[in-house]
Amino acid sequence: MISNRLPSPNTWISLGLLAIGSFPTGPTTPLLETLTDNGLNAIDLTHHETGYYQTLLNLGQRLDSLAQTRPRQHRRPFTAGPLAIPVPDLRQHALTPSLSLHTRHGTWSTSPQGLRDQVDSWTKPPGTTRLILLGDSIAAGWGVPDGRGFEPLLEAALNDSTPAPIQILNFAVPGHAPGQRWEHFLQLNGWDCQPDALLYQATPADLGWDERTLARLLPLGLAWDAPQYAPTLQRAQLQPHDASDPSTLRHRLRPLRTQLVAHVYETITAECRRRGIPTAYFLIPRVGRPSPHDAQTLLQLARNAGFDLIIDLSDAFDGLDPNTLAVAPNDYHPNATAHARLASLLHHALAHWPPIPQKDQP
């Protein structure tokens, strides 16, 4: 059923970030630097992944004219950018299908299914091993051109080292919390693509992301019955009438922030196990944003959930100059150099994982 409800302001937040990629190429001021110049408070990117998106709403400007500021009373809602579309479910947005745009970061392209990937057919070619990738803006390659994210680089490396074709289908969407990433895979009928294994990309921001996401979804009547969330909502003793009070939502959800992401992980591994699909979990850092405590908590949650392979890349950028690895100053997204490093590390960790075809030893 198609809903007539207008996207919420938080939907426009995520759409706003995606629309920035459509700005004309040429000299630009990094987004967060621009916000600082406009007198806005800096956001805490260490613990709040969604703060990056919220900054756009705080700016209060149209996406097609970021250089112009407006008095608060004259600010207009954001318009959806070309890179994303609103959807009437708990994902709130998805990538626009069949898109190819030249942005200041290079070409951004999507498949007919709405993946930042090139997929000719949902039907798996004979003799091909297919991996599916769930993740956030880093896995989607935010800030790097087509072909320069860790996913396409990893796919190429695996194809160079294995005797049979490897495909990685990239379901990652910027701005999606862990539970939304799983929902996106299901909404796109991801099982129909006949995956042989699942890769789950996490960052330390996974801890607490679903909590903040639910605080805005539940008042919209979304996510109450989602299997990845329902048990934790029941434990929080939340009912739909509680959604009218934001303070009640925050008070009930905050103590269960760890359990929320734990149950999302458990939902993913349980369904994959039922279908005989091996799972790999890898934790990658945000550039210049070390979060060792959160990283260790998430790795333990992944172990408890039963992922078949756990890859800890939280130290991938240790000892390196963040200024050489980020897409822009004060932006934690990795640039092409950092993505290449991640791809190399992942290739080393995955090359001998049993779902990957192995060359015969001489």
pLDDT at 102: 86
Q: Are 200 and 138 in contact (CB under 8 A)?
A: no
Output 93 or 60, whichever has higher pLDDT.
93
Task: Show the tokens assigned to 128.
Answer: 């091909």
For the segment 313-326, what is each residue's pLDDT rounded down to a tens digit? 999 999 999 999 99
Query: Residues spanned by CATH 3.40.50.1110 within the chain?
Result: 84-350
pLDDT at 77: 29
Asked whether residue 113 carries a pLDDT value surpassing 60, the answer given is yes
Q: Are 32 and 69 in contact (CB under 8 A)?
A: no
Unique residue bearing structure tokens 């074709």: 165
pLDDT at 264: 98
pLDDT band at residue 332 using 50, 70 and 90 as cut-offs: confident
Residues 6 or more apart whose Cβ sits within 8 Å of residue 306:
266, 269, 270, 273, 279
CA distances from residue 112 to 4, 140, 287, 298 in whole angstroms, order as listed: 24, 16, 31, 33
Task: Show the tokens assigned to 163.
Answer: 């005797």
pLDDT at 64: 26
Fold of 84-350: Rossmann fold (3.40.50)
For the segment 35-89, what is each residue's pLDDT rounded down to a tens digit? 223 222 333 333 344 444 433 323 222 222 222 233 333 333 223 468 888 999 9
Q: DSSP states of 250-313 as a string? A: HHHHGGGHHHHHHHHHHHHHHHHHHTT--EEEEE-PPTT---HHHHHHHHHHHHHHT-SEEEE-
Task: Show the tokens assigned to 16.
Answer: 């706003």
Q: What's the pTM value of the predicted model, to 2 decimals?
A: 0.82
Task: Show the tokens assigned to 276.
Answer: 């005989």
What is the chain's mean pLDDT, rounded? 80
Residues 6 or more apart whose Cβ sits within 8 Å of residue 59:
35, 38, 40, 66
Q: Are 22 and 79 in contact (CB under 8 A)?
A: no
Task: Show the tokens assigned to 332.
Answer: 């934690």
Q: Report, as an integer, the average pLDDT of 137-159.
A: 96
pLDDT at 361: 52
Asked whether residue 158 carries a pLDDT value surpassing 60, the answer given is yes
pLDDT at 55: 39
For the segment 236-279, what is each residue's pLDDT rounded down to a tens digit? 888 888 888 777 888 889 999 999 999 999 999 999 999 999 99
Q: Determine which of 7-21, 152-166, 221-235 has the lowest per-residue pLDDT on average.
A: 7-21
pLDDT at 202: 97
pLDDT at 111: 95
Q: Are 99 and 20 in contact (CB under 8 A)?
A: no
